[in-house]
Chain A
Amino acid sequence: MEITLKINGAEKKLNVEPRTLLVHAIRDAGLTGTHIGCDSSSCGVCTVVLDGKTAVKSCTMFAVMAEGHEITTIEGMAQGGKLHPLQQAFHDQHGLQCGYCTPGMIMAAHVLLQHNPNPTEEEIRFGLSGNLCRCTGYQNIVKAVQQAAQMLQQPAGAAADD
């Protein structure tokens, strides 16, 4: 069936089966930053943002269900050649190694910060516990989210030093 998905602000007309998972639809549309790591909705590497404030595992939603929603993926985070503070912070704090979990982790952290702009370390660990990382041991991911939270609270332009 023909559906229209709004991904990162752009409307995409797609031809899918009802059973097509959202993650496959997104990836088939050329946005391969959203990954797949399991079949049991456990790993979160497929996490995308729906309507700005909710994070979803895009492997656990049919593409048809996303019609009418605004989808944001990792590719939609940098604006005008400028990285989102979370992207900058993951780099600064060595919050990634193989990079496979990173897009999902960044999207989950993005939503976490919407609901809790100034989280404690424990709250970050709690909020990211739907996303697995096999490489980093999470510690630098936590630091990255803390840095991003600070950057987002600072007036624009006063980014943390590189």
Chain B
Amino acid sequence: MIPAAFEYKRPMSLEEAISHLAEHGYDARVLAGGQSLIPAMRYRLAQPAVLVDINKLPNLGYLLEENGKLRIGALVRDTDVEFNKNIQSKYHLISDVSMVVADPIVRFRGTVVGSLCHNDPSGDWAAAAIAARAEMVIQGKNGTRVEAIDQFLVDSFATSIGEGELAVEARFPIPNERTSGAYEKIERKVGDYATAAAAVQIELNPDGTIKEAGIGITAVAHMALRVVEGENLLRGQKPSLDLIRAAAEEARKIADPNPDARGSAEYKKDMARVLVGRGLIKALRRLNVAVA
């Protein structure tokens, strides 16, 4: 299938990109990895008048640790994360996610930031960003702002990025040695969006109680959700199977999925529960805490 015609802009600097975006407003779309946008255009579900290709922008491909944060530039591909040794050893949640987004070839092009900007209700990165309490860096004509992920993700396919703006970076806190996480996803096959998925991150106190917990679930509501009540239950407690059961149950409660070919609402809700439970068990096991 052939996309509808569009005007193509290939800015060579961030300023130029922002000025194209400002000029064309909502008629313009940022083109990053293109792995969501181009298929949608081929089906003519998206017919943007102007595409601003950011792939040639300098200095957006960085993936580095600085000031307590992992900084992921807007041109970092999923595979940059997947193949990164530091991430594999330290960022368990992020590493898990990087292996199950889309398929291995799509991951060579798809960007982490692009996925967050796309905010697909079944996207994987959003759930992870919620669990890890990430932030987004947004730049426009009037400068740069940093936004917590919960403020950034607004609704299905909607973020707080305004007209004439683009996201330049996602920031994840650097986990200490008492922090681990996991991503549990069920998909019908490789390359399918999740039927349901759960991202969890746990930080333990030196005494073995839970200091902080993050739980994000995706594909089970209009957008990825934070399981606030589940996090509250875990915080300050000593890990146990009963505790995990109770926290996981909170995921089932808030999940509000649409039934579709991937499953009924009932099934997806139960999967939100099962996957949060499994994720917590796995994260704790990675911290050498056996609960099951």
Q: Which residues of A contact B (CB under 8 A)?
A: 1, 17-19, 21, 39-42, 44, 47, 50, 54-57, 59-62, 64-65, 68, 108, 111-112, 115, 126-131
14 inter-chain pairs at a CB distance below 8 angstroms, sorted by A residue, are A18-B6, A18-B7, A19-B6, A19-B41, A39-B1, A41-B39, A62-B38, A64-B8, A65-B53, A115-B83, A126-B104, A127-B104, A130-B191, A131-B105
A41 to B39 CA separation, bound complex (whole angstroms): 7
Q: Chain A CB within 10 Å — which of B42, B83, B105 has the most?
A: B105
**Which B residues touch A68, using CB under 8 A?**
56
Indicate if B17 sits at the interface (CB-CB under 8 A).
no
Q: Which residues of B contact A (CB under 8 A)?
A: 1-8, 10, 31, 34-35, 38-39, 41-43, 51, 53, 55-56, 77, 79, 83, 102-106, 108-109, 190-191
A21 to B38 CA separation, bound complex (whole angstroms): 9
A39-B1, A60-B109 known, 6 other contacts, Cβ within 8 Å: A1-B8, A18-B8, A60-B38, A61-B38, A108-B105, A126-B104
Say how far B40's CB is from chain A's closest CB, in angstroms: 10
Q: B109–A56 contact, CB under 8 A?
A: yes
9 closest A-B pairs by beta carbon, nearest first, are A130-B103, A18-B8, A130-B105, A129-B190, A39-B1, A54-B108, A19-B3, A130-B104, A60-B38
- Of all chain B residues, the one with the shortest Cβ separation from A115 is B83
- Of all chain A residues, the one with the shortest Cβ separation from B77 is A54
The count of A-to-B residue pairs whose CB atoms sit within 8 angstroms is 86
Q: A39-B43, A55-B108, A60-B38 are in contact. Are A18 and B5 (CB under 8 A)?
A: yes
Q: A130–B190 contact, CB under 8 A?
A: yes
Say how far B107's CB is from chain A's closest CB, in angstroms: 8
Q: B106–A57 contact, CB under 8 A?
A: yes
A44 to B104 CA separation, bound complex (whole angstroms): 10
**Which A residues touch B6, using CB under 8 A?**
18-19
**Which B residues touch A111, using CB under 8 A?**
108
A57 to B109 CA separation, bound complex (whole angstroms): 9
- Of all chain B residues, the one with the shortest Cβ separation from A60 is B38
- Of all chain B residues, the one with the shortest Cβ separation from A39 is B1
A7 to B50 CA separation, bound complex (whole angstroms): 27
**Which B residues touch A44, using CB under 8 A?**
103, 105
- Of all chain B residues, the one with the shortest Cβ separation from A1 is B8
Q: A60–B8 contact, CB under 8 A?
A: no
A31 to B1 CA separation, bound complex (whole angstroms): 20
**Which B residues touch A112, using CB under 8 A?**
104
Q: B39–A39 contact, CB under 8 A?
A: yes
**Which B residues touch A131, using CB under 8 A?**
105
